[in-house]
Structure 1
Amino acid sequence: MKEKFLNNIKKFNMIKDGDRVIAAVSGGADSIFLLHNLIELKEYINFDLIVAHVNHGIRETALRDQEFVRDLSKNYKLDFELEKIRMDLYAKENSMTEEEAGRFLRYKFFNKIAGKNGKIFLAHNANDQVETLLQRVIRGTGIEGLAAMDYVANNLYRPMLDIKRSEIIDYLATNNYSFVEDETNQMDIYGRNKIRLNVIPYLKENFNPQVDDAILRLVDLSRENMNFIKELVDKYLDKNYKNGILNIKELRAQNPYFISEILREYLRRELRTIEGISRLNYEIIVQAIIKETSFKSNIVNNNFLEISYDSLYIKDEDKKIFEEEIFLKEGKNETSFGNFELEFNSEYKSGKNIISIDQDKIVGKLRLRYRKAGDKFVPFGMQGYKKLKDFFIDEKIEKYKRDKIAILTDDENIIWIVPYRMDNRYRLSKDSKNILNIKYGGYDD
């Protein structure tokens, strides 16, 4: 077994007993190196090994490669999974490049085989790492992009990132392992191929014969920097991110770059992907955070990012305010608005999340609902009406909370903005004869 390969398996704790490992095997030198080293590893670790092959359907030799990998799997008594695709057609139908389409369809297939607990092993090597970084630099990237591919990313495992293609070829020759050659690798028809065949040789000839090593050092240094920043980001989010809400109070005094990194990770966790969010988007949001201004913008796919006071959150504009009304009865009421307990003909009580009102002033039935346009009430201690919207603003209640606040009413008026303020018209007086106590216990009381 190649020593570097084994060291990476150990260093990153990639495989343990009982694992389900899916090896992506095209039949080329890199993937055959991966497969043979995984087979060798089975002598030391007890894990299931499945060979996954994708026939992209655009080369005459694709069937040859498919059968080569199938026969190899059969010889080693390994399960063989095959997916036949037409990445060229998929690319046209979805306005993608063939490279993008092929990658998307491959990973979709690998993840299907892997399921929830499978580990997908890929044959990316040091040369691929160099090509990846150059691609990202050309397109424009930040420190995360400069870190290029990682050894472990979610369910993807790359144990060959520090092994050069020349080492792979030597290993296969020494061990007399055969492989098949994808002839398109030598054609400058794809972006990565052009970098491999044209850009890197030009850089070596005209600037630095060891440019590969220089770029790999940049990758390692960028990853160290990124990991350091990630630790700080995770520490902030652990303290200030809960239930989809990001507290930005302490963030305003931070460096704009650090704010943008917090924002990127928050959006990644909330939206699963940050694809399609531009640098300008981040800059605008960062400035809104620093300047302590209210903010609302369609960040991506009708998901609106909103800043209200010290809170930042995502709001789906397609979700309307729930129009349900729930009638309350005497005793305990477990509702979608929370838990409420009503005590009629009781005695005055005071405490957190409890009101005592004049029972005889109630008109009709008591019910719970969410806010409606035009809502107004007479806040406790006042004589005149106040719009509910203005009450929320004066109380500095974040916008994301407003649509979820329970409103207690009778047939005519609002009685209680739960748990913030009751209506002054229902307060007890020296003439009150019957008292109703209403206690709000949230959802977990």
Structure 2
Amino acid sequence: MFKTFEEYINNRLPFLGSAKLLIGISGGIDSVVLSHLCKMLNADFALAHCNFNLRGKESDADEDFVLELGEELDVEVFIQKFDTEVYADKQKLSIQMAARELRYHWFEELAEQLDFDFILTAHHADDNLETFLINFTRGTGLNGLTGIPEVNNHVVRPLLRFSRVEIEAFAMEHQIKWREDSSNTSRKYLRNKLRHEVVPILKEINPQLLNSFQDTLSYLNDTADIVEESLNAVAKRAIVDISDYGITYKISEFKKVNNPKAYLFEMFKDFGFTEWNDVVELMDAKTGKYVKSSTHRLIKHREFLILADSHSEQIEAPIIMSQSEKSIETPIGILHFEKANKLKDNSSNTIFVDKSKLSFPLELRLHQSGDVFYPLGMKGKKKVSKYLKDEKLSAVEKEHTWVLTSEDNIVWVVGMRADDRFKVTNQTQKILRIGVN
């Protein structure tokens, strides 16, 4: 196996040869064999072990084993203890998902702090098959059937082409010791059920199952490349704006394709949406309708869909400005106040007002339901909400509309329109220029 592993690294993963590597090690056979293989390659590596405190003395024994292995291989060992059950309860995750999050977050921190180039994990061909079956049984799109990526940013899995049988044979041949995790025999986890009950039957039906599976993954990944290319082409035509408010998509481009639902799924699947029929219906819904996930909203606005973060709904605290302040930093930029010698035309980012008509302190806040102002150049008053609707602002843009007020009277719908009550007249003695950039 070592010769094959060496050839595979040289041909497929040559960048590992001169890199500083961090191996995630549990003490189980897979990660222990990977560590020995890297030692035989004379690689520059260290070991990182997570003690999740889930199996009492057994977890502590795993930790001791890894420390001894580090001495045997003459490499540095990093140990981190976690209170996994507390974390899982707090984050509302399964124990397995909590352990995965904790593990990878810590690996990333170590790599960044100590300048490791790559993180190696010991996933192998059988793991890949099990992950495929898990995704298949739970329901997934094409990406869920393309297998564990061999290289994912700086996480590398150099054992993916090797089977569990090959790894066990190598360990026996070289008299390598490892730790058995008792939880691996438990049938309460889906992965273990598949490993012990389903996969053996599939291998009995097809003794060359892993080879056939590798061929299937190759075909599926080729298909995924075609899908990605088509998706990118549609996205290029559909995306008309990317701003702080979100990403705006032209609905007509989705309606041109043969299967809009498939494109909508692929375009927005990573943003937490699950009700795909609702997403499809959004294309013909009224302006302002939206579909919400735990992290994002997809909003219908006229002939567009706008993808926005859910946190964009959060209310910002008002900002108070005294008369002495010349500039102040705000969520929409730096607000400037300066004396002006003569009146100039207002612009979207600058207005000129009669300073004597202002009562300090001024307040900058998000507009609220019921706000009314007197648009400059118009007779009478108007609700801000009606004004924004007439200006054809999207729901997200409306949420991000700020107003500058003086004693609760709107001076400026910032970036849009000044209020007529504060305009400069022939009787004005002091002109104040207010701008934002």
TM range (shorter): 0.7 to 0.9
Q: Return the letter of the residue paired with 1:294.
A: G
Are 1:58 and 2:55 matched, yes or no?
A: yes
Distance in 2 (CA, whole Å) between partners of 1:286 and 1:84 is: 46
Structure 1: which 5+ runs fail to align?
Answer: 268-273
Q: Pick from 281, 289, 294: which aligns with 1:287?
A: 281
* Counterpart in the other structure of 1:307: 299
Distance 1:124 1:400, change over 3 A: same
C-alpha separation in 1, matches of 2:323 and 2:86? 59
Give the deviation of 1:411 after TM superposition.
Answer: 4.2
TM-score by length of structure 1 reads: 0.77
Read off the aligned partner of 1:305 and give its amino acid letter: R
SS at match of 2:67: helix
Q: Relative to structure 2, which stretch is displaced further, 76-85 or 99-108?
A: 99-108
Would you say 1:316 and 2:311 are equivalent positions?
yes
Equivalent position amino acid for 2:135 in 1:
R
User: Helix, strand or coil: the match of 2:310?
Assistant: strand
What is the TM-score when the length of structure 2 is the normalising length? Answer: 0.78
Q: Structure 2 counterpart of 1:262, which letter?
A: M
* Equivalent in the alignment of 1:197: 196
Q: Which runs of 5+ in 2 are unaligned?
A: none
In structure 2, the residue corresponding to 1:316 is in which secondary structure? helix
Q: Which amino acid aligns with 1:218?
A: T
> 2:33 aligns to what?
33
- The 8 Å contact of residues 56 and 87 in structure 1, kept in 2 or not, is answered as yes
Is contact 2:340-2:432 (8 Å) kept? yes
User: What's the offset of the Cα at 1:24?
Assistant: 1.5
- Encode CA deviations 1:256-290: one digit per residue, 9 max, x unaligned: 2222222234x2xxxxxx4xx5x32x442343145
**Which stretch has the larger CA shift, 375-384 or 15-24?**
15-24
Alignment size in residue pairs: 421
Q: What residue in structure 2 maps to residue 219 of structure 1?
A: 217
The residue type paired with residue 162 of structure 1 is R
* 1:388-403 paired onto structure 2 within 5 Å: 388-403=384-399
Asked if 1:161 is matched to 2:160, the reply is yes
Q: d(CA) in 1 for partners of 2:286 and 2:176?
A: 63
Structure 1: distance between partners of 2:352 and 2:312:
37
Distance change >3 Å, CA 201–CA 90, structure 1 → 2: same
- Alpha carbons of 1:10 and 1:233: their partners in 2 closer, same or farther (altered >3 Å)? farther
Q: Distance in 2 between matches of 1:105 and 1:380?
A: 56
The structural deviation recorded for 1:400 is 2.7
Alignment-mate amino acid for residue 287 of structure 1: E
Task: Give 1:385's aligned residue.
Answer: 381
Deviating more after overlay: 382-391 vs 148-157: 148-157
Tell me the C-alpha RMSD between the 2 structures.
Answer: 3.9
Percentage of matched positions with identical amino acids: 22
Map residues 41-80 of structure 1 onto 2, 5 A cutoff.
41-42=41-42, 47-52=44-49, 54=51, 58=55, 66-80=63-77
Structure 1 residues 59 and 308, CA gap change in structure 2 (3 angstroms)? same
Residue identity in the other structure for 1:319: Q
Contact 1:356 1:438 in 2 (8 A): yes
Q: Secondary structure at 1:325's aligned position in 2?
A: strand
User: 1:362 maps to which residue?
Assistant: 357
Are residues 376 and 159 of structure 1, via their aligned partners in 2, closer, same or farther at CA, if it must alter by over 3 Å? Answer: same
1:150-299 pair list within 5 angstroms: 150-182=149-181, 185=184, 188=187, 190-206=189-205, 208-230=206-228, 236=235, 240-243=241-244, 245-249=246-250, 252-253=254-255, 255-265=260-270, 267=271, 274=272, 277=273, 279-280=274-275, 282-289=276-283, 291=285, 293-299=287-293
More displaced stretch, 48-57 vs 232-241: 232-241
Please state how far the C-alpha of 1:110 moved relative to its aligned partner.
Answer: 4.3
C-alpha separation in 2, matches of 1:402 and 1:34: 55
